Amino acid sequence: MQKIKLQINEKKKSYTIFIGTKIIKNIQSVINCAKYSNALIIADTNVPKKILKNLTTALPIKSSAISISGGDRHKSIESVQKIWKFFLESYCDRKSLTINIGGGTIGDIGGFTASTFMRGIDFLQIPTTLLAQVDASVGGKVGINFLSVKNLIGTLQQPIAVVIDIDTLSTLPQREFISAFAEIIKHGVVTNKKYFQFVTSKKPRDFSNDELVKIIKISCQIKADIVALDEKEEGPRKLLNFGHTIGHAVESLSLTTSNPLLHGEAVSIGMIIEGQISKRVGLLSDDDYDVLEQALIRAGLPTKSPNMQTRQILEKIKSDKKNEKGKINWTLLKSIGEAVYNQQVDEGVIRKIL
């Protein structure tokens, strides 16, 4: 089993990310659940019953569970209210432990409800999708969408631990598995050229389990190191936003269609457009842009957005929570492995590229 210790400097908090196999069956070996009064499980409806049974059987305390549909459409205040009601009816107290098991949506909703109920109760993240394992479960950002704006309402609250059991990936659909590689590729492209070259050296499904554990560990370590320096996204954490300004906009717009984009698919499109912006403003070379584009294509990720109006995308961008004083703060690429944040770009350039 691999372990990553994440130290949040500002609050002197730390927790561990556990990565391996058969961890859920042996949850007691990594988490001291006995110190809690009860466990409140928030489970993705897509999580197989066998995995849930393994979890509840392994817990040494009384547990109650609620099922919530995954997917960004369900990351809403209605889902939060449903969970708060479940907490109340399950006699939740300040010594209760919330366990979020599922994809990134469940981690976000579960973490947000736990961080706001009774002014905050402890929660454990058990991400069961590759995307959640390499991205959403690490860093403490929890929240929901509001009025069609992605992640507009939320808090920064760190979990007691993250348990990544790669056995849960055996039933993950192909499309979701490939989607996760957008975030994996992003981690390399903004911070580590050698890692970028490794994760783009094969098609996603061609990596062995051992290589997959290595990928998850390095992606988590990259994000953990950045979060430890900048929990509140005032500086270096903004590097992780590459591909997300455009990505969040096209993802939000796609949610109103009959075929919404997965998060990683939207981020892939975002990286292409923001890579073009980087090139247009003189930061990124043509050659490095081509390397990024070909890497995303080889991974099986989309590089063109569905039919969306430039006006709609710009409106979504302007409501992005990362903006300050009415200005869009872009994270752009200088080269493969190096990015810069807080970049201002003329709106005319953005319109031309869109």
How is the beta sheet containing 63-68 ordered, strand by strand? 2-8, 13-20, 161-165, 122-127, 97-102, 39-44, 63-68
Beta partners for residue 40, in sequence order? 64, 98
The predicted-structure confidence for 182-206, as pLDDT tens digits, reads as follows 999 999 999 999 999 999 999 999 9
Q: pLDDT value at position 256?
A: 84
88 to each of 40, 49, 94, 102, 216, how far by Cα in Å? 11, 24, 12, 22, 36
Dihedral in degrees, nearest 10, Cα atoms 84, 43, 254, 268: 120
The predicted-structure confidence for 107-159, as pLDDT tens digits, reads as follows 999 999 999 999 999 999 999 999 999 988 888 889 999 988 888 999 989 99
Q: pLDDT value at position 43?
A: 97
Q: Is the pLDDT assigned to residue 11 strictly greater than 70?
A: no
The predicted-structure confidence for 244-271, as pLDDT tens digits, reads as follows 999 999 999 998 888 899 999 999 999 9
Beta partners for residue 67, in sequence order? 43
Contacts for 280-287 with beta carbons within 8 Å, 24 or more apart? 280/349, 280/352, 280/353, 281/332, 281/343, 281/345, 281/349, 283/332, 283/333, 283/334, 283/340, 283/343, 284/332, 284/333, 284/334, 284/335, 285/335
Q: pLDDT value at position 73?
A: 85
Q: pLDDT value at position 15?
A: 87
The predicted-structure confidence for 26-57, as pLDDT tens digits, reads as follows 999 999 999 999 999 999 999 999 999 999 99
Q: pLDDT value at position 6?
A: 75
Q: pLDDT value at position 139?
A: 84
The Cα 233–Cα 140 span in angstroms is: 11
Q: Which two tokens stand for residue 213?
A: 């554990």
Q: Is the pLDDT assigned to residue 240 strictly greater than 80?
A: yes
The predicted-structure confidence for 265-321, as pLDDT tens digits, reads as follows 999 999 999 999 999 999 999 999 999 999 999 999 999 887 788 999 999 988 776
pTM here is 0.89
Structure letter (DSSP) for residue 5: E
Q: pLDDT value at position 353?
A: 93
Kindly give, in sequence order, each residue whose CB lies less than 8 Å from that of residue 162, ignoring residues fewer than 6 positions away.
15, 16, 17, 18, 124, 125, 126, 127, 137, 138, 220
Q: pLDDT value at position 196?
A: 98
Concatenated DSSP letters for 228-270?
Answer: HH-TTSSSGGGGGGTTHHHHHHHHHHHTTSSSPPPHHHHHHHH
Q: pLDDT value at position 208?
A: 93
Cα angle vertex 327, ends 270, 235, to 5°?
A: 75
180 to each of 187, 206, 332, how far by Cα in Å? 11, 14, 21
Mean pLDDT of the chain: 93
The Cα 301–Cα 268 span in angstroms is: 6
Q: For each of the domains in the chain, give its residue range(s) and CATH number, in order of start.
A: 2-171 (3.40.50.1970), 174-353 (1.20.1090.10)
Per-residue confidence band for 70, with pLDDT thresholds at 50, 70 and 90: confident
Q: Is the pLDDT assigned to residue 10 strictly greater than 60?
A: no
